[in-house]
Chain A
Amino acid sequence: MRLDQKRESLFCGLAFLTAAALILASLGYDIESAYFPLLLSLLMGVLAIALFVQTLMPHSKETAKAQTEAADQSDRDQNDKDRAVMRDQLIGFFKIFVAVLAYIAGIQLTNYTVATLAFLILMMGMLGTHKVLHLALVAAGMTALLSYLFFTFLGVTPPEGLMAFG
């Protein structure tokens, strides 16, 4: 199975599982309120299966071409490149997910100013900015700008942290 086929199959699996979970959840509600999501989930499950079948049974010429190409060195190189891109994307995703989650938790634990300053400084440092003056200026400027825009100009109530720093 080629890399793109594996990826498509994984997507089909995810879509099917999501549809199955939603069908089960829908069955727990009164049918009058659940027929719409139930219908949509069923359709999504059917489409996931259709896409999976389509992925496994490509056109004959395409299969032949793919098999011939599989042996080709340049194709293998391309696969390696694709793998590297996917790895970079997943690492990027993991970094951003953890950082944003930590930032939200940081706001909850401390307050907006402390958490935003810490998030911006750490994130910029992690992504490759090492000039301390740049880090401090951008972090302070952005924190002040967002604070002014949302909490002063628009009058949004700032998030209250568990530990009040003022």
Chain B
Amino acid sequence: MIDNLLLGFSALMTPMALLAVFAGVTGGVIIGSLPGLTSTMGVALLIPLTFSMPPEAGLAMLGGIYLASTYSGSISAILLNIPGTPAAVATLLDGHPMSQKGQSMRALALATFGSSIGGILSVIALFLIAPPLADFSLKFGSPEYFLLAIFGITVIASLSAGAMIKGLIAGLFGLLLSTIGAHPVTGDVRFSFGSPILYDGIPMVVSLIGLYSIPEVIAMISRKQVKIEESSKTPPRSALSFLPEALAQRVNILRSSLIGIIVGIIPGVGCSVGGFLSYDAAKRASREPQAFGKGSPEGIIASETANNAVTGGTLIPLLTLGIPGNPVTAVLLGGLMIHGLRPGADLFTLNAEITYGFILSLLVANLLFVPIGLFFARYCAKVIQIPTAILAPCILALAVIGSYSIRSSLEDSLIMLFMGVVGFIMTFFAVPRAPLVLGLVLGTLAESELARSLALVQGDVLAFATQLVTRPICIVLLILCAYALYQGIVQHRRNSNLLDT
């Protein structure tokens, strides 16, 4: 393991890789603090930029965007009472009241240090848990991989906020979109409508750009922009002077990190849930629970530490089993694939240099967003005021040129637009997009492993079904799929009962 770490360290210590981390963190801080721009959209839009970079630099940049944008949602939450990302909603409860008391820098510093420590602890967990889990994945055969793909989609669909059937339909549609192009075993081209550009299927990155940029821009221009007043002027006190106050909350930080990591490992739960769970745990454990909601430093640290600890947690199932825990990691999986990397044991052995370089880059990113975030916070109010009329066309131009750049084809820009239409229809009908993304990402894996499994039993469906119920890992996965669906049904019933009462 030490050898692999050294390999990763040498891969990271190149000017290109370090510059990529810096650019990713800076971009992530800006994207996360702009309300309406999500981490997913940021990562999706910037994947084309990493296309021609070396994999370690490209992944370092994407990782930097992910971590920094998760953290920086807190900046606008604290200063302006607007969470830049859903992850920062719990931070808003105490961050803004503290800011209103004229302690903006204190709130920002506590949020930043909490995020950084939570992020670092989660990367350590990733480093310790991922390699053995990846080794375990060697025991997986085709039927297990097929069920793993199905499990990923089932979990996300069942957690689709009380819209399980819609989530399942979205997941199925994503799987169907992934079947466009050549069959992984027979090579027959399907649903291409005679267009050679579709022979290789719908390019994943292009789809993700469309799914996440077009609907966001439509939402942006459909709502009126509100003039934001800064709640208080940033006081001159140095942010570093609040570091001892943050470090004094060791128990809170450790508890919140643990909650964040566990929440991250469970697919589909997400940063905002992690933030709320640890906020609640901190409130229960606090000697001053009455201070929560009125500018409690414990509340800020709990939610920020947890939501950044989620980031490392989500990468554990992603890098080891190829199961993305949330839309951002689904997009990151696309980023891994365009660099020719496949999650699993190979990532930690054959591609150890790139993988460990990526993990170390996350550590660097977690440290780097402290100075960048605190510096940016001073100018945040002005940047956030960029009018929609300027921001929206710039995002669209970036989306069109970004999707063109993947294969130097304007037809890809048209595919991006088509996926944008799909994304809009989904948001219009309140259908979650995450299951579709997962279906799209995991579809090829599901179909190819199903085809291989069937080929191994000479197409005998009964023999394949017998395999599914006799192989130990398959049984566990089937139970997990059933449990996920059961949970979805229970949640749906609970929502219906709430409506009834």
Instruction: Report which A residues bind B (CB closer than 8 A).
Output: 7-8, 10-11, 14-15, 18, 22, 25-26, 29-30, 32-34, 36-37, 40-41, 43-44, 47-48, 50-51, 54, 59, 61-62, 65, 85-86, 88-93, 95-97, 99-101, 103-104, 107-108, 112, 116, 119-120, 123-124, 127-129, 134, 138, 142-143, 146, 149-150, 154-157, 159
Residues of B within 8 A of A18 (CB): 173
Could you tell me the distance between the alpha carbons of A110 and B453 in the complex, rounded to whole angstroms? 51
- Report whether over half of chain A's contact residues are helix, strand or loop; otherwise say mixed: helix
Give chain B nearest CB distance to A67 CB in angstroms: 14
Give chain A nearest CB distance to B131 CB in angstroms: 33
A154 touches B52 (CB 8 A): yes
Task: Tell me whether B218 is interfacial, beta carbon within 8 Å.
Answer: yes
**Known A-B contacts A14-B425, A33-B190, A104-B414; A47 and B499 likewise in contact (beta carbons under 8 Å):** no
Residues of A within 8 A of B49 (CB): 149-150, 154
A119 touches B417 (CB 8 A): no
B390 touches A124 (CB 8 A): yes
Could you tell me the distance between the alpha carbons of A138 and B178 in the complex, rounded to whole angstroms? 38
Residues of B within 8 A of A100 (CB): 214, 396, 399-400, 417, 420
* 7 A-B pairs closest in CB distance: A127-B389, A123-B393, A33-B188, A11-B429, A92-B222, A33-B183, A61-B500
Partner of A146, one of B166, B173, B398: B398
A44 touches B173 (CB 8 A): yes
A127 touches B496 (CB 8 A): no
**Known A-B contacts A10-B429, A96-B396; A101 and B388 likewise in contact (beta carbons under 8 Å):** no
**Known A-B contacts A47-B172, A120-B393, A127-B392; A25 and B417 likewise in contact (beta carbons under 8 Å):** no
Residues of A within 8 A of B392 (CB): 123, 127
**Known A-B contacts A89-B218, A128-B389, A129-B389; A37 and B499 likewise in contact (beta carbons under 8 Å):** no
Chain B residues 12-64 with CB under 8 Å of chain A are 48-49, 51-52
B401 touches A150 (CB 8 A): yes
Task: Tell me whether B217 is interfacial, beta carbon within 8 Å.
Answer: yes
Give chain B nearest CB distance to A155 CB in angstroms: 6
Please name the residue on chain A nearest to B399 by beta carbon: A100
Stretch at the interface among B241-249, B304-312, B402-410: B402-410
A37 touches B176 (CB 8 A): yes
A33 touches B186 (CB 8 A): yes
| 14 more CB-based (< 8 A) A-B contacts, given A44-B173, A47-B165, A156-B405 | A11-B166, A40-B175, A44-B169, A47-B168, A47-B172, A89-B222, A100-B417, A103-B400, A127-B389, A128-B389, A129-B390, A150-B49, A150-B401, A154-B52
Please name the residue on chain A nearest to B396 by beta carbon: A100
Give chain B nearest CB distance to A46 CB in angstroms: 10
Q: Can you sample 11 A-B contacts with CB below 8 Å?
A: A32-B183, A40-B172, A40-B176, A44-B169, A59-B499, A61-B501, A62-B496, A86-B428, A100-B399, A150-B48, A154-B405
Task: Tell me whether B413 is interfacial, beta carbon within 8 Å.
Answer: yes
Among A86, A97, A150, max chain B CB count under 10 A is at A150
Chain B residues 140-172 with CB under 8 Å of chain A are 165-166, 168-169, 172
Could you tell me the distance between the alpha carbons of A131 and B292 in the complex, rounded to whole angstroms? 46
Among B169, B219, B399, B431, max chain A CB count under 10 A is at B169
Give chain A nearest CB distance to B407 CB in angstroms: 10
Partner of B169, one of A51, A59, A154: A51
Could you tell me the distance between the alpha carbons of A110 and B311 in the complex, rounded to whole angstroms? 44
Give chain B nearest CB distance to A56 CB in angstroms: 14
Could you tell me the distance between the alpha carbons of A165 and B294 in the complex, rounded to whole angstroms? 61
B190 touches A37 (CB 8 A): yes
Among B176, B188, B402, max chain A CB count under 10 A is at B176
Give chain B nearest CB distance to A157 CB in angstroms: 5
Task: Tell me whether B132 is interfacial, beta carbon within 8 Å.
Answer: no
A159 touches B410 (CB 8 A): yes
Residues of B within 8 A of A62 (CB): 496, 499-500
Could you tell me the distance between the alpha carbons of A128 and B51 in the complex, rounded to whole angstroms? 35
Could you tell me the distance between the alpha carbons of A90 and B175 in the complex, rounded to whole angstroms? 27
Residues of A within 8 A of B421 (CB): 93, 97
Please name the residue on chain B nearest to A64 by beta carbon: B500
